[in-house]
A = this chain, B = another copy of it.
Amino acid sequence: MVKQYYFLVIKVERTGRYTIKLSGNTGIIGSAAVGAKAEGEGPLASEFDYLYPDDGIGQDTWEKAESELHKKAVEIAIKKSGKTPDDIDILFAGDLLNQCTGSTFGIKDMNIPFLGIYGACSTMALSLATASVFVDTGAARVAAASTSSHFCSAEKQFRFPLEYGGQRSPTAQRTATAAGCAVIEQNQPCGILVDSVLFGRVQDLGITDANNMGAAMAPAAARTIKDYLTDTNTKPEDYDLILTGDLGVVGSKLLYELLETRENLNIQSVHNDCGMMLFSRENQDVHAGGSGCGCAASVLCSHIFRRMREKELTNVLFVATGALLSSTSALQNLTIPGIAHAVHLIYR
């Protein structure tokens, strides 16, 4: 049976130069965070929807493990939203694996229209922002936004095979073995709503150290935060939380420095970073913090959304950052361009 849909669209406005202001009634109706062992030993363990006992996820390759993780997050989020896969008009997903196979093999059998995106570790903000525009304008009634990463598939692809036992530098971050998914629907009178979104511009300050992603991504975070505040004529104190994706300890410090010296903005009192929240730097060997698409995704879709639903946070600027390198570009000594996308979430 062919279902017939006819929707009139709610207006979308651009505010300032870069910000897309939504109608105010596009909301998150369900979300899920899935992780594995290290995530289950971290401070947010109890907030995850599902934790696998190890990084194998019952699969025979790390790549299949990541796809399984991704699938689980999407399935749980759809279920929690009270929908079925058939209700989802479009799914926005991407990940760090070559040709985004973490996502495609995870969702390939769901029979949902699929819009593949690539934003490296900014993917959760990118998928959520794009999905929100589609839902808010009526191009989709219900959309899902998801992403994943896996410590072992990422180490194998970007650094060294685990068996090599390579030493990691203090500025390195640990890729989360995690996935997150949010389901978004039109016409929500209350709940977690998407106020506006901003798609970032690539920033390249010439960083070439592939073991220091925080430094590569901090300029993009600074640019996007500054653009959003300017466009909306707001100050850092207007937000309960400015949440960056996974700058980690090193990148967060650089972000403060960039915003203070170049833009005269101090965000320290309202800032936190998913890379510093997912793991315990005291008790877990994660160096500068967590990273990977699944880090920001799982922290947002568990801890942050829970705190918003409990009205602890009602005004969150989520800014996930991505480092747009490949192992080939790194080996060819190219710089590491960064990008950051923003989603302004409110609870009403």
Interface residue ranges, A against B (CB under 8 Å): 2-18, 20, 61, 63-64, 89-90, 94, 96-101, 104-105, 107-120, 126, 130, 133-134, 137-141, 157, 198-202, 204, 230-231, 324-329, 332, 334, 337, 339
Contact = CB atoms under 8 A, between A and B. Distances in A.
A117, A120, A332: which has the most chain B beta carbons within 10 Å? A117
Given A105-B329, A112-B201, A133-B139, A14 B7 contact: yes
A202 B104 CA distance: 8
Nearest to A60: B332
Nearest to A104: B324
Query: How many monomers of this chain does the complex have?
Result: 2
Given A107-B202, A118-B118, A113 B7 contact: no
Nearest to A339: B114
Contact of A108 (B90, B199, B324): B324
Nearest to A16: B2
A147 to B, nearest CB: 12
A104 B337 contact: yes
23 contacts: A3-B17, A5-B14, A5-B15, A8-B13, A9-B9, A9-B11, A12-B138, A14-B89, A14-B141, A98-B326, A98-B328, A99-B118, A99-B326, A100-B118, A101-B325, A105-B337, A111-B201, A115-B117, A116-B119, A133-B139, A137-B137, A137-B139, A157-B328
Contact of A137 (B12, B110, B339): B12
A114 B201 contact: yes
Contacts of A112: 201
A199 B329 contact: no
B204 A115 contact: no
